[in-house]
Amino acid sequence: MHLTALREVVEGPLHGIAGRFSRFLGERWPHTALVIFTRECTGRPRKVAGPVGTVDRITIAELEDLKAATAPGEPLSTTATIGGRARAVWAVRDRTGTLLVLVTRTAKRLPEPALLAEVFGIVATSIRQQVTQASPDYLAESRAASAERARTIGEMAAAQESALVAILTTLRSRSLDDRHARLTATDSAATALVTLRSARTSDLAVSEEPPLSAFTKLRKEIRQILRHHDAELEFSAPPRSAPPLPGEIAHAARALTRTSVLAFTAQPDLARLRIAWSCDGVSLRIDVRDHESGRLDVAAVRDQLDGRARALGGTVEFDAVPEWGSRASITLPLHVAPDRSGEDPLSGLNRRELQVLGLVAQGKRNKTIAGELGITESTVKFHVTGVLKKLDAGSRGEAAALALAAGIGDHVRN
């Protein structure tokens, strides 16, 4: 076994780690599919490699059952329900709680189980460190996965719930005279509806975290890190009623806050530090500030925070005044902004706004446009302001460029 090859497994992007690990294990532990299951990766708790027809059918519930049957550090060779049917598998549960599943062709004894457990321990630790540190690559991949999962689950749940409610409505109709058949069918449909709703709730439990719970974990971590520091710590937690955080936001918020706190404690005269989270349902705001110190190395801490915040569409702001105080403020949006890269930027304009924009693109001023369209100059100004706002353009020239690119500046009709 070459350790250089194992290094390549853990050094690459997190989203491809299953495929790299599968290739690494293939010769010594032959398998047809591989799954790494960790709840720490909220975006993609299942990291898979193998035939799509197999790995796409493997559910969180199946992996939870197998995880419960596998003792930490004691690899298991067994037959388990994976992908909807019984399959021969080798399972390894690391002490971090991460599970490895190798689907095999035949039920045979697992070779060198202790070695497999040690090798997987290195991979599991690497995954945990990437998640804990909230690297930009992990955060971007996790956020994209969360958005896609939410969209898919929403569509599936809406379609199936509508269908099941329709079935229940029909079966409860008094026009059906076969009472026994109706009751049996009603029970089946009701059970299916409960199962669907439970699956959606279970997925949310994996992918979301209450802000107060996330902040409580953070507070324990910071107190442990700074247990020998003399600074007085003040914590301001988000309210219990705050809406849940997407998992990648909770991980990122803790990592960014820890990084900020460590930067603040590098100040030699730090006496008091305040750490606050607030959440308004649109974004999570992290505020870390000292009192009187004001010697924060802003450039250094910005380098550590900017990439991770940008990966989630967030912003980082700093203030530092010697002898007065320093502050780091990080804002993370809770939800992914819709991708409008393929949309026509002019699609939101009405007919009159398009006419005005077309004449602006021809270089005409408001007075000339008013004369050509038979409207007042103040009305033209009103339309121009609306166009700039809808196009998110900073000037008439920028709006004109968009119009010319769309080909509407050459022919303008009333």
CATH number at residue 379: 1.10.10.10
Whether 396 is in a domain gets the answer yes
Mean pLDDT across 337-349: 61
Same domain, 289 and 365: no
Q: List, for residues 16-36, the tens digit of each pLDDT value.
A: 889 999 999 998 999 999 999
How many whole angstroms separate alpha carbon 320 and alpha carbon 368? 51
Whether 44 is in a domain gets the answer yes
Mean pLDDT across 88-116: 92
Out of 298, 333, 368, a domain closes at 333
Same domain, 144 and 129: no
Number of domains the chain contains = 4
Same domain, 240 and 168: no
Under the banding of pLDDT at 50, 70 and 90, the label for residue 147 is: low
Q: What is the pLDDT of residue 183?
A: 67
Same domain, 14 and 98: yes
Mean pLDDT over each residue of the chain, to the nearest integer: 80
Q: What is the pLDDT of residue 164?
A: 62
Q: Give the residue with greater pLDDT, 160 vs 368.
A: 368
147: domain range? 140-207
Whether 276 is in a domain gets the answer yes
Same domain, 217 and 320: yes
Same domain, 22 and 122: yes
Same domain, 239 and 198: no
Query: What CATH number does residue 244 fall under?
Result: 3.30.565.10
Q: List, for residues 162-192, the tens digit of each pLDDT value.
A: 556 656 666 666 665 666 656 666 665 666 5
Same domain, 294 and 217: yes
Q: List, for residues 265-312, the tens digit of each pLDDT value.
A: 888 788 889 999 999 888 999 999 987 776 788 888 888 888 778 877
Q: Give the residue with greater pLDDT, 117 vs 2.
A: 117
Mean pLDDT across 139-166: 55
Same domain, 156 and 100: no
Query: What CATH number does residue 119 fall under?
Result: 3.30.450.270
Q: What is the pLDDT of residue 204?
A: 46
Whether 279 is in a domain gets the answer yes
Out of 111, 133, 155, a domain closes at 133
Whether 202 is in a domain gets the answer yes
Same domain, 260 and 309: yes
Q: List, for residues 192-250, the tens digit of each pLDDT value.
A: 566 555 554 444 445 678 899 999 999 998 998 888 888 899 999 999 888 888 877 88
Same domain, 58 and 20: yes
Whether 108 is in a domain gets the answer yes
Whether 341 is in a domain gets the answer no
Same domain, 260 and 183: no
Out of 133, 166, 187, a domain closes at 133
Mean pLDDT across 362-380: 88
Give percent of the chain with pLDDT exceeding 70. 75
Whether 412 is in a domain gets the answer no
